[in-house]
Structures are given as structure tokens and as C-alpha cells.
Amino acid sequence: MLTDAPVAPAGLFGFINPSGLYDPTANGYSHVAVIRLPARVIHIAGQGGETADGALSPRFEAQVAQALDNLSLALASAGATLADVAKLTVLVVDHDQDRLGILSDQIGRRWPLGRAPTCTLIPVPRLALEGMLFEIEATAYTG
């Protein structure tokens, strides 16, 4: 959804997808996040697709789902939710259009249309753990 005004401008932050730029909503992100200060800033370190016991699925889709679950748990520990996230950084091993589709679908399930945070996707050759295909870090803001 292209808009030159912040979506949900009454809250702590809003998202803008300016006219004149590519509409990123189908890919699950926004171009601009506007934060109203003062706010509590929460940085979440990169979360991978491993479970609490260290198990890591070989499937990309399963790793993305688990990493997003892990992100939700980390945010909750700081009193935040996915709705408080303004910025994501995503690392994807062997990135391609199929993986982008999986990621976009998973993000679309967790953030309502027009409320997806800003996001930078970085294709990488390898991540920290053997078999790790996906990692996501976040910055969230709460009042």
C-alpha cells in the first residue's frame, strides 16, 4: 500500500511507503518507519531457526517459522510484541525467489497488511551454525 502519510499515525510509530518508490507490501516490509520519542528501545540479537533444545530443521520454511517464534519470545521477555517492531534485518543463505516467497508469506501471517516493519534482507553464503539457513534481528519501540 503506497502512502505518503504514516500508517497508524496516532501510535508510537508509523510506517510510510512513499509514492514514487516501489510498493513493498507484497514482500512483507515498509520503506520508512517514523518513531515518536521518547520511547523504550529494544534490540533483539539475531534469532535463528533452532528450538530451545538446539534442534535445527533442514527445511528453510521451518527455520523461518521457528526464528519468528523465537523473535516473539525474545520480544515478550522485554515486554514487547511483533507489533512493536520497526526494523528487521534478515540474513538468508542461498537466497532466491522461492525463499523470498516463503519469507514474505511468513511475515504476512504475523504482521497485518500495511504494518510490516522496515526490513533489509542480506543474502549470505553461510551463518553461524552448520545447517542454519535463516537469521532475523529486530529493533522494537515501546512507550
Q: What is the pLDDT of residues 78-125, one digit of tens each?
A: 999 999 999 999 999 999 999 999 999 999 999 977 688 999 999 999
Residue 83 has what pLDDT?
A: 93
The total number of residues written for the chain in this structure: 143
pLDDT at 30: 87
Residue 62 resides in a domain: yes
Q: Is 97 within the bounds of a domain? A: yes
Number of domains present in the structure of the chain? 1
Q: Is residue 11 part of a domain?
A: no
d(CA 99, CA 121): 11
Residues 6 or more apart whose Cβ sits within 8 Å of residue 39: 12, 13, 141, 142, 143
Residue (of 46, 2, 9, 8) closest to 26 by Cα position: 2
CATH assignment at residue 105: 3.30.1330.40
Supply the pTM of this predicted model. 0.83
13 lies in some domain? no
Q: In which element (H, E) is residue 93 found?
A: strand 85-93
In a domain, 47, yes or no: yes
Range of the domain at 96: 40-142
